[in-house]
Amino acid sequence: MSALVLVEHDNAALVAATLNAVTAAKQMDSDVHLLVAGSGCDAVAKAAAAVAGVSKVLVADAPAYGNALAEPLAALMAKVGRGYSHIVAAATKQGKNVLPRVAALLDVSAVTDIIAVESADTFVRPIYAGNAIATVQSGDAIKVVSVRSTAFEAAADSGGGASVEPAEAVADPGLSEFLGQDLTKSERPELTSARVVVSGGRGMGSGENFKLLEGIADRLNAAIGASRAAVDAGFVPNDYQVGQTGKVVAPDLYIAVGISGAIQHLAGMKESKVIVAINKDEEAPIFQVADYGLVADLFKAVPELEAELNKALG
């Protein structure tokens, strides 16, 4: 048997998370195939064939797959995936959109957002936003699994020599139509993939004061986030929200400014590698998870931090 991994791409290049999914798939089944579904996606098929450890690349090149709409893509994957032991994708928005649909079409369960592979049928996944870790065993003939990319090393994107074959054709169910895309053209990295995140809480006092964080964020090439309290207070829009009901982030460095550390916020950031907390209340729960805590008035500490960073980083 083999594992089939969905390649995520924009018809020109692979999305990096796919390489992490390949590593996870390798731990499920030694033989890994990739599925490239797109429109005019030759370059992606070539790149996929070069991924180390992959034996075969199946390519479905048709207009219906050009924008990775869930309905045609899931129909294709369910058909192509029938003979496989595992169907795997990165737990990106695209993977999360399409994989459960594939599972239901095959009448099997899905195991989403895994962080470890214990054996071919046993996986580890966070529940309750990472406040508990479950080990689960799938009894289904085909395991449909999505992979949290930060939990697995990336497979090498060169050195492989997979054969490339066309995938069997599947009719487009014609349920949906792509109208357009609006990608954030921010100078800042995206919250969930940023290496550094600077977040503000209710202690910021106003939306205007969030500008204070921009200096640090610019200096560190960081994304800016916020606690739910700051969002609920109307300081910043909801898409800034880090926490159980917002985004879950795990950057190398997380700087929490004026955030007390409510459970719901901690759930969204406690996997960060290094956590810094700046808060004037030394009893704030955020200090219990922070590697470096600074008890200080943020309105004084933040400008100082910006100046010190300028000094330290030249």
Partner 1 sequence: MKVLVAVKRVIDYNVKVRVKADGTGVETANVKMSMNPFDEIAVEEAIRLKEAGVASEIVVVSMGVQQCQETIRTALAMGADRGILVQTDQVLEPLAIAKMLKVIVEREQPGLVILGKQAIDGDHSQTGQMLAALLGWAQGTFAYKLEPKDGGLEVTREIDGGLETVRLRTPAVITTDLRLNEPRFASLPNIMKAKKKPLDVVGPDDLGVDIAARVKVLKVVEPPKRQGGVKVADVAALVEKLKNEAKVI
The span of 21-29, 32-40, 163-171, 177-185 binding partner 1 (CB under 8 A) equals 177-185
Identify residues 224-253 at the interface with partner 1 (CB under 8 A). 237-239, 241, 244-246, 252-253
CB nearer to partner 1: pick between 39 and 193: 193
Among 30, 40, 175, 281, binds partner 1 (CB under 8 A): 175
Identify residues 94-113 at the interface with partner 1 (CB under 8 A). 94, 96-105, 107-113
One-letter amino acid at 71 equals: E
3-state secondary structure of 114: strand
Identify residues 204-223 at the interface with partner 1 (CB under 8 A). 220
CB of 275 to partner 1, least distance (A): 8
CB of 55 to partner 1, least distance (A): 28
Site membership for partner 1, residue 294 (CB under 8 A): yes
For 305, which DSSP code?
A: H
CB nearer to partner 1: pick between 12 and 263: 263
CA dist 295 and 292 (Å) reads 10
Do 82 and 106 touch, CB atoms closer than 8 A? yes
| Interface pattern 110-139 for partner 1 (x via CB under 8 A) | xxxx--------x--xxxxxxxxxxxxxxx
Question: For residue 180, how many other CB atoms are within 10 A of its CB?
Answer: 5
Among 52, 120, 233, 295, binds partner 1 (CB under 8 A): 295
Quote the distance between the C-alpha of residue 97 and its chain's center: 13
Among 177, 187, 208, 283, binds partner 1 (CB under 8 A): 177
- Hey, what are 225's tokens? 């986030």
Among 30, 159, 169, 176, binds partner 1 (CB under 8 A): 176
CB nearer to partner 1: pick between 211 and 273: 273
Identify residues 273-292 at the interface with partner 1 (CB under 8 A). 273-276, 282, 287-292
The span of 30-38, 43-51, 164-172, 174-182 binding partner 1 (CB under 8 A) equals 174-182
Do 269 and 291 touch, CB atoms closer than 8 A? no
Do 38 and 9 touch, CB atoms closer than 8 A? yes
CB of 180 to partner 1, least distance (A): 5
CA dist 97 and 198 (Å) reads 28
What own/partner pairs with CB < 8 Å and gap ≥ 24 does 297-303 have?
298/203, 298/204, 298/212, 298/257, 298/258, 299/209, 299/212, 302/212, 302/213, 302/215, 302/216, 302/257, 302/278, 303/212, 303/215
CB nearer to partner 1: pick between 187 and 313: 313
Number of residues that bind partner 1 (CB under 8 A): 95
Site membership for partner 1, residue 194 (CB under 8 A): no
The CA distances from residue 143 to 4, 43, 107, in Å, are 10, 29, 11
**Please, is 288 exposed, middle or buried when counting C-beta atoms within 10 Å of its C-beta (0-12, 13-18, 19+)?**
exposed
Do 162 and 57 touch, CB atoms closer than 8 A? yes
| Interface pattern 137-166 for partner 1 (x via CB under 8 A) | xxxx--------------------------
CB nearer to partner 1: pick between 49 and 228: 228
Site membership for partner 1, residue 43 (CB under 8 A): no
